[in-house]
């Protein structure tokens, strides 16, 4: 198959630091080309070529961390449409079997005039009203969800399949016994990811916490509001870290804490952490009940008494539930804790590898090519 992969332009593919979507696109480009497909990756010019795929530059550079795009969202929006128009022109002049859109709702606007078979993987939430106007208009297009929970806001879309994100487990080696007793928080420093709740849990339980977090310009106010929490002696703030640093921290953490306060569509940090053997404590929001096995690869906690999503092992809710889950892991006998770490790795090997993900996408591509639509 001749496959076009359409990437956002915020980050390089693969990303240098933060960028979950970009890792998934990179894995698809690399592993699909290994299976002898002709893969054309539409991305920014500064993306490194780390496989047999072809790079088609659609913008001169990644834009998330440079001015004026960093602070001016309107200029960033203009850049996105410039890149998509460049993509449109190239696709119009070439004969691709499959166009796999990872750039979201904007690219759907070109669908009718391209008259090609386009499949869109939805990487974000489906609760944003101005985006949903476009999704509704193109509801009969082909869509892939990355968790079943993600579908609930727009169940009328033509979902072909849920395909869970996969990771290259070779990049996240298993470690049965960590060399640290620190908790870990790896996500954007934002209210959606619950950074403040993670810190407060560490302070209440008197456990040490390492934070590896990117601070977006849109989250600066939140960061300033909670900055004083970072001054606690048990809190270590590392800022944004690269892939190798991230893997090291995962391997050597007691647990990953993820008190998410939004409907997380997937959350690569869950699978990355479990691949290294590190269990996860998380609120029962978004994909969490689909990705984490309560009591086996960590603990799931209901976020409040008003939002009960399951009869989990931990009966307390909110921050009290987080604290109980954390203490339960710290109080485990050594062999039981190691058993949980082994279960984490086995769970990822069975359900969340890049090979499994690529195989499922390949099957969906073929189904779409064989369809009459």
CA distance 84 to 106: 8
Q: What CATH number labels 2-166+353-370?
A: 3.40.50.2000
pLDDT at 372: 64
| CA quadruple 213, 217, 218, 222: dihedral sign | positive
pLDDT at 214: 86
pLDDT at 65: 80
pLDDT at 18: 75
Nearest to 161 by CA among 352, 367, 21: 367
Yes or no: domain 169-351 corresponds to CATH 3.40.50.2000: yes
Q: Give the DSSP per-residue string, 70-82.
A: TT-HHHHHHHHHH
Residue partners of 265: CB distance under 8 A and separation at least 6 = 122, 123, 124, 125, 145, 146, 147, 149, 150, 286, 287
Cα separations (Å) of 24 from 31, 117, 149?
11, 21, 19
pLDDT in tens, the chain (373 residues): 999 999 999 999 999 877 899 999 999 999 999 999 999 999 999 999 999 999 999 999 999 888 999 889 899 999 999 999 999 999 999 999 999 999 999 999 998 888 778 999 999 999 999 999 999 999 999 999 999 999 999 999 999 999 999 999 999 999 999 999 999 999 999 999 999 999 999 999 999 999 999 888 888 999 999 999 999 999 999 998 887 889 999 999 999 999 999 999 999 999 999 999 999 999 999 999 999 999 999 999 999 999 999 999 999 999 999 999 999 999 999 999 999 999 999 999 999 999 999 999 999 999 999 886 5
Residues 257, 183 contacting (CB under 8 angstroms): yes
Residues 80, 58 contacting (CB under 8 angstroms): no
Same-fold call for 2-166+353-370 versus 169-351: yes
What tokens appear for 119 in the block?
């499949």
Q: What is the pTM of this model?
A: 0.94
pLDDT at 243: 79
Cα torsion through 49, 57, 79, 358, rounded to 10: -50
Q: Where are the domains of the chain?
A: 2-166+353-370, 169-351
CA distance 341 to 345: 7
């Amino acid at each position: 198959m001749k496959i076009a992969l359409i990437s956002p332009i915020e980050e390089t593919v693969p990303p240098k630091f933060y960028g979950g979507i970009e890792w998934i696109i990179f894995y698809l480009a690399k592993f699909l080309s290994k299976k002898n497909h002709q893969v054309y990756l539409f991305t920014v010019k500064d993306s490194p070529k780390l496989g047999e795929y072809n790079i088609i530059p659609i913008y001169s550079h990644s834009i998330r961390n440079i001015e004026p795009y960093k602070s001016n969202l309107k200029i960033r929006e203009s850049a996105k449409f410039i890149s998509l128009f460049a993509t449109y022109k190239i696709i119009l002049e070439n004969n691709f079997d499959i166009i796999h859109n990872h750039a979201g709702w904007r690219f759907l606007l070109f669908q009718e005039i391209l008259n090609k078979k386009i499949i869109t993987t939805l990487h974000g939430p489906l609760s944003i009203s101005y985006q949903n106007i476009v999704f509704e208009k193109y509801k009969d297009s082909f869509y892939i969800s990355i968790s079943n929970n993600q579908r609930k806001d727009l169940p009328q879309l033509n979902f072909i399949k849920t395909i869970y994100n996969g990771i290259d487990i070779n990049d996240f080696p298993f470690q049965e016994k960590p060399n640290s007793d620190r908790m870990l928080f790896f996500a954007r420093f934002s209210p959606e990811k619950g950074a403040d709740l993670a810190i407060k849990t560490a302070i209440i339980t008197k456990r040490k916490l390492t934070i590896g977090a990117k601070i977006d310009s849109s989250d600066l106010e939140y960061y300033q509001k909670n900055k004083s929490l970072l001054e606690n002696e048990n809190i270590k703030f590392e800022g944004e870290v690269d892939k190798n640093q991230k893997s090291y921290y995962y391997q050597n953490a007691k647990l990953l804490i993820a008190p998410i306060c939004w409907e997380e569509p997937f959350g690569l940090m869950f699978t990355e952490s479990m691949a290294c053997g590190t269990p996860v404590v998380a609120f029962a929001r978004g994909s969490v009940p689909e990705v984490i096995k309560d009591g086996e690869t960590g603990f799931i906690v209901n976020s409040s008494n008003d939002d009960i999503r399951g009869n989990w092992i931990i009966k307390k809710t909110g921050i009290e539930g987080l604290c109980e889950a954390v203490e339960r892991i710290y109080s485990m006998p050594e062999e039981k804790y190691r058993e949980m770490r082994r279960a984490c790795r086995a769970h990822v090997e069975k359900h969340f590898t890049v090979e499994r993900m690529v195989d499922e996408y390949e099957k969906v591509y073929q189904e779409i090519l064989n369809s009459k639509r």
